[in-house]
Amino acid sequence: MVGDLAIGGGSPVSVQSMTSTDTADVFATTAQIRRLEAAGCDVVRVAVPDQKAAAAIRAIRDRIRIPLIADIHFQHTLAIASMENGADAIRINPGNLGGEEKTRRVVEAARHHRVPIRVGVNSGSIEKDLLAKYGYPNADDSSALIESALRSVRLVEKYGWDQIKISIKSADVLTTVNSYRQLAAATDYPLHIGVTEAGGLIAGTVKSSVALGMLLGEGIGDTLRVSLTRDPVDEVRVGFELLRALRLREHGPELISCPTCGRTRIDLFALAEEVERIVQTMTSPLKVAVMGCPVNGPGEAKQADIGIAGGRGQGLIFKKGEVWKRVPEEQLLAEFTTELRRMDSEFRSD
Ligand code: SF4
């Protein structure tokens, strides 16, 4: 359990993100977390680079609903301070905490506060003896990374704590996939999956979708983060689309829109963007279509619970492929939005 969120053991795959604000800035960090909550984010991680950030956790924690994970590197005292200030979990790499004694103190504090630990290891902190034995991890063999992660896990277990999840970092898609396959075969602990430093919206979404799609398709992964060089809210949106595509979880309406072609008579890109903005505030699993022409649109989007098809001067609102209403172009979006909101609230009150 991370706060009140179950991870692993058959629980739904949870979607995480990480704030990009200065954690010590309580106002900015809280505001960003609230936007993440509105997007459906299940659990948020904040960087704790200094004592000011660790101290801010208490005030942030009091102002948000979702569990908070403190991300610690190098200084074990920051991990202890974060837990004292109410962090629901910590993320550490025992390999960079400065020795076993410091890890012991962190684990004992975690036990005391009943705070789970995410053991996150990366290729940069693999012990020399493992590198000598297995070589640097690559897409074919990640034994050094796996062994390093398991060594860290055993260290946490040695001091009496087993509330653990594991992540291993790689920016390469195939190395990520093969590493997690090896790791899943070697342990029953829940796994946090993700491709690190994946890139901007397009590259990051593609890399994450390929890697996480392959893993989740094989039943590997209990919680995920899609890392993007973007507003973290986009990470959550991509995460949910990924889970929806795999039919693992749904969050809010599914938007279907046509790519447009020579028959398109309205500014469909702007319309689709506007509808996307509107559905983001909804929670029902409606299928919503935005199509470029009234001739083929309703038929091509038959599976949609409600759709809009733009024409010259007037457009259509359709339901399950049948025309529901013809509306002058200037009223199309407003009429559509009213009906969509009505259907969304009807669904929620059912
Ligand atoms: Fe073209 Fe109409 Fe199909 Fe859109 S719905 S791709 S505009 S034919």
Ligand 1 centroid – CA 258 distance (Å): 6
Distances (CA, A) of 284 to 38, 255, 346, 350: 14, 12, 9, 11
Residues with C-beta less than 6 Å from any ligand 1 atom: 258-261, 263-264, 291-293, 296-297, 300
**Ligand 1 atom showing the smallest separation from residue 293 Cα:** 2
Ligand 1 centroid – CA 309 distance (Å): 9
pLDDT at 229: 93
- Ligand 1 site-directed mutation target among 291, 308, 312, most atoms within 8 Å of CB: 291
**Maximum alpha-carbon separation in the chain:** 73
* 48-84 pLDDT, tens digit each: 999 999 999 999 999 999 999 999 999 999 999 999 9
**Ligand 1 atom showing the smallest separation from residue 261 Cα:** 1
pLDDT at 317: 93
pLDDT at 350: 67
Which parts of the chain register pLDDT below 70?
Answer: 350
**Ligand 1 atom showing the smallest separation from residue 295 Cα:** 2
* 194-236 pLDDT, tens digit each: 998 878 999 999 999 999 999 999 999 999 999 999 999 999 9
82: phi then psi, degrees, rounded to nearest 5 = -65, -40
**Residue with CA at minimum distance from ligand 1 atom 8:** 296
- Ligand 1 site-directed mutation target among 269, 290, 293, 302, most atoms within 8 Å of CB: 293
Ligand 1 centroid – CA 265 distance (Å): 10
**Residue with CA at minimum distance from ligand 1 atom 5:** 297
pTM of the model: 0.89
Ligand 1 centroid – CA 291 distance (Å): 6
**Residue with CA at minimum distance from ligand 1 atom 1:** 261
**Residue with CA at minimum distance from ligand 1 atom 2:** 293
**Ligand 1 atom showing the smallest separation from residue 258 Cα:** 4
**Ligand 1 atom showing the smallest separation from residue 301 Cα:** 5
